[in-house]
Amino acid sequence: MHSALAASSVSSLSASATCSGITFTWSGNMDYFCYQIKSKANVLSSCLQNSTSKSYFVSTNDLISLYGYYPTQAISWQVIGTDNGDQDNPVTSKTSSSLFYDVPWKNMSTPSQDYVSANSSQKIAWTVDTSPNDLDEGGGTAPIDGYVLELSSDGGTSYSNLATVSGISTNMWFRTIPGTTFAYNTAYKVRVTPKNSCGQGRWFSPVLSWTSVGLPPQIAPTGLTNTLNDGTSLSWTWNAIPDTNNATGGFPITGYKLQWASLNGSCWSGSWCTVVDNLNALTYTQTNQADNEIYNFRVFGINSKGDSTFYSDNVTVATPMVPPYIAPPTLGWQNCSHVRIVWTEPNFYNRGRLPVTNQISISMSPTQPYPCLATPSSTSR
């Protein structure tokens, strides 16, 4: 008999949905309230005695995995008021229903990848449905507003966030320069999923696998120095390019190239000449330099893609000076009392690199008489 409790009731029942789940709230003055979800798979049923909160929260994950609901399907909910916790003999009850919303359920196609030749940057692109249905969007209450890319460099064992790209258009893409997000000449896997205000989607696209671009060495050797060996040769040393991906461009350093440019001659600053190429060492001794010359030297690193993008700082060397050189002078008689000595003035190439500051003219008295014509003598007939 429940006549004494006739005034008792479940006076209200409401539902509030968020990304994380649904909270059902009710009011009434019964000693016991029992709640039920009209589940597709399992029936959630329980009673609360003297409950003051008169509410129950069910998570989105439970609605999907335990009760078999999709974001576009309404959840039926019933609260029963009873004076003894007996759900089979309810005094009063109220029924309500509510939709819930979730992250996107959209399945993605496999993204594509190519290079932008201007700077060898990596471009990842994917096709987008610009009119997804409510289920694709996780219930339609939270529209798709962008995409999340995840990157793996260990063959797909683990992934980390690569980028979040906002917006939605037919063709979406993400681009980055090698040596920043991507290492050079490295195998990667990338996957894409849509996102909305609840978070990133429940499923990723099929995985894209590719190897990033490799480039010539991206930094120059450092520490180029020289030693002049008794004026006969130049010994050069420099520091190796570090064995890191960002430095080597993704390929092993195979050697070094030493170049020079002279102040004069065929190898000048606008036309560098190679002293040695693809040298598998960090030292080199040069013996074919000219005396009295000024040279600039520089060194490159080399891998299978070519010479390094940058070269070392130029090092200027002045080879040893020698005294001015002139051809042997010539001698001739100036007159009956003086001898004339004649020589050629040194030019740029034989003056010892410094200008000749003085020339000495020498006049001298001969030790032998000047061969003047003899005065004719008188003859008699």
Task: From first to last of the 381 residues of the chain, give the pLDDT tens digit.
Answer: 333 333 356 778 888 889 999 888 888 776 667 777 765 555 555 665 555 567 888 889 888 887 778 888 888 777 777 766 565 666 677 888 888 889 999 888 899 988 766 556 788 999 988 888 988 999 878 899 999 999 999 999 999 999 999 988 888 888 887 777 788 899 999 999 999 999 999 999 999 998 888 889 999 999 999 887 766 788 999 999 999 998 999 999 999 999 988 876 667 656 788 999 999 999 999 887 777 778 889 999 999 999 998 899 888 887 766 565 566 666 665 566 666 677 666 654 455 545 555 555 555 555 555 555 444 444 444
How many helices and strands (H and E) does the chain possess? 2, 26
Q: Helix %, strand %, coil % for the chain, to 5?
A: 5, 40, 55
Between CA 115 and CA 117, with CA 116 as vertex, the angle to 5 degrees is 100
Burial class of residue 19 in the structure, from the number of CB atoms within 10 Å of its CB (0-12 exposed, 13-18 middle, 19+ buried) = middle
* Same domain, yes or no: 262 and 275: yes
> What is the model's pLDDT at position 364?
53
* Same domain, yes or no: 230 and 273: yes
Q: Which of 302, 318, 334 is the last residue of a domain?
A: 318
pTM to 2 decimals? 0.67
Please check whether residue 156 lies inside any domain of the structure: yes
The total number of structural domains in the chain stands at: 4
Q: Which of 211, 242, 277 is the last residue of a domain?
A: 211
Q: Which helix (H) or strand (E) holds 181?
A: none
* Same domain, yes or no: 150 and 184: yes
* Same domain, yes or no: 30 and 93: yes
Phi and psi based region of residue 306 (left: phi greater than 0; alpha: psi -120 to 50; beta: remaining): left
* Same domain, yes or no: 88 and 165: no
Please check whether residue 103 lies inside any domain of the structure: no
* Same domain, yes or no: 294 and 333: no
* Same domain, yes or no: 188 and 263: no
* Same domain, yes or no: 206 and 116: yes
Euclidean distance between CA atoms 25 and 53, whole angstroms: 8
* Same domain, yes or no: 310 and 327: no
* Same domain, yes or no: 261 and 340: no
CATH number at residue 231: 2.60.40.10
> What is the model's pLDDT at position 276?
93
Please check whether residue 377 lies inside any domain of the structure: no
- Give me the domain span that covers residue 89: 7-98
Is residue 182 within 8 Å of 124, Cβ to Cβ? no
Q: Which of 98, 130, 154 is the last residue of a domain?
A: 98
Is residue 128 within 8 Å of 221, Cβ to Cβ? no
